Amino acid sequence: MAVHPIDFRYGTHEMRAVWSEETRFSCIVAAEVALAKAEAAHGMIPAAAAAEIEKNAKNASLARSKEIEAEISHDMMAIVKAVSEVCGEPGRWIHYGATSNDILDTATGLQIGQALDLIDAKLRRLLGVLLQRSKETKTLVCVGRTHGQHGVPTTYGLRFAIWASELGRHIERLGQLRPRVVVGQMTGAVGTQAAMGSKGMEVQATMMQELGLVPVDVSNQVISRDRYAEYFMFLANVATTLDKIGIEIRSLQRTEIGEVEEAFGANQVGSSTMPHKRNPIKSEQVCGLARIIRSSVEPALQNNTLWDERDLTNSSCERVIFPEASILTDHCIQLMTTVLLGLVINRAAIRRNLAFLHGINMAESVMIELTKRGMSRQDAHERVRLASMQALAEGRPLADLLGMDNEVVRYCNKSDILKLLSPDTYIGTSVVQVERVIDKLSPLVRE
């Protein structure tokens, strides 16, 4: 019976598979095989034994290890016994010189690597969608808002480009953190490698090379959890960007704004009681799940503060937060990609909103031009501010009130003022900025 929503509602098949019991078991077995091969390569165990272990370890079963665990109450030793059983006499060398977390943390490194591969590919796909939408809308002028109020114009292309720029940095961060988090260890009971004598460092290096992992420089019984904390902070950072995009879409889909809308299926139902509703439920889902992903950061940080050479307080916590945060982040990336691909842009509503304040939101444009033509900047600000306040209070066009100020008209005639109040002429370098972002980030999509 499924209990957690990631079992039946959230998550992709491929990311759930990474954190499944079966994959965990196979990664642990792979680590044991790599250890045996490394020890054989350095003369610590017979080469024939390592070859038999490599040949037969794949026949070990998760079901059998669970049977053993029920008897001995130790999950790692249960797997060691299950693998040893299928390897015959050479099985006596399984786990030689290792402690549990040499294998468990190394298996985690393999799983993190797989998870990052999936996230990297999906971030690049989402980046491609954002860059395409940036290109399509680079000249689409719209209301810019600060503090929830209309400001000077911006463009939809610039909005999409800003989000794309964040995604580009996340892809860069992923590449930077990979060698710090996709790691493994073979350091023994408290990190001294005493059981392997003088060859411990060589065995660890060979084992990690076999697995495609970076070996730790030093550790105690467990890999230092600052590495894993960085992974969770990365997931939280990605989720927060997705949350940011989702909040903006939800805001812009408000009935009274109506500039964008999530795609809505022909048979889709928005409400069980209000038949007219078309709700931004996918963006809302992303925003809600981002809270759960971010909540993994605090326990991940606390997992680094273990007693002495180690305790077990991190273990139960990590069994929850690794699959949960990874699966939900992957889910949110894919869901937001779907939202942005299908996002409907209402150009009529955009133009309506641009005209909503009858030019008042263009006050800065007039102030700047008055200053260029000789008026004191501070005087220009005050005159335009007073006219704007009056226009807001009386619901009148700003152009009419500015045209009644003789000092303003002395520098800018009424025809000039009307041109200055046109939002399409006041988007600065936004188009060039968008094109620069597209040129810079497009190679990341193709990598």
The torsion angle over the Cα atoms of residues 6, 226, 211 and 66, rounded to 10 degrees, is -50
Segment 274-305, tens digit of pLDDT? 767 688 889 999 999 999 999 999 999 999 99
Is 271 catalytic? The answer is: yes
**Which residue shows structure tokens 């079901």?**
63
Comparing C-alpha atoms, which of 359, 372, 368 is closest to residue 399?
A: 359
The whole-number pLDDT of residue 8 equals 87
The reply to whether CATH 1.20.200.10 applies to domain 5-45+96-134+153-263+276-351 is yes
pLDDT at 274: 75
| 150 is an active site residue | no
Residue 261 pLDDT? 94
Residue tagged active-site, from 84, 100, 150, 271? 271
- Residue 196: other Cβ atoms inside 10 A: 22
- Report d(CA 325, CA 11) in Å as an integer: 10
**Residue pLDDT, tens place only, 38-67:** 999 999 999 999 999 999 999 999 999 999
Q: How many residues does the chain have?
A: 447
Quote the pLDDT of residue 158.
98
Distances in Å between the alpha carbon of 396 and those of 358, 359, 366, 400, 402? 7, 9, 17, 7, 11
Domain boundaries, given as residue ranges, for the chain: 5-45+96-134+153-263+276-351, 355-425
Tokens of 321: 């937060």
Q: Which residues of the chain have pLDDT under 50?
A: none
Q: pLDDT per residue over 138-195, tens digit each? A: 999 999 999 999 999 999 999 999 999 999 999 999 999 999 999 999 999 999 999 9
Measured distance CA(269)–CA(235) in Å, rounded = 32
Question: Which of 147, 198, 276, 316 is labelled catalytic?
Answer: 147
355-425 fold: Ribonucleotide Reductase Protein R1; domain 1 (1.10.40)
Q: Please give the mean pLDDT across all residues of the chain.
A: 94
What pLDDT is attached to residue 271? Answer: 61
Closest Cα partner for 102 from 226, 247, 200, 212?
200
pLDDT of amino acid 269: 67
pLDDT in the model for residue 97: 94
The CA dihedral of 113, 116, 117, 118, to the nearest 10 degrees, is 130
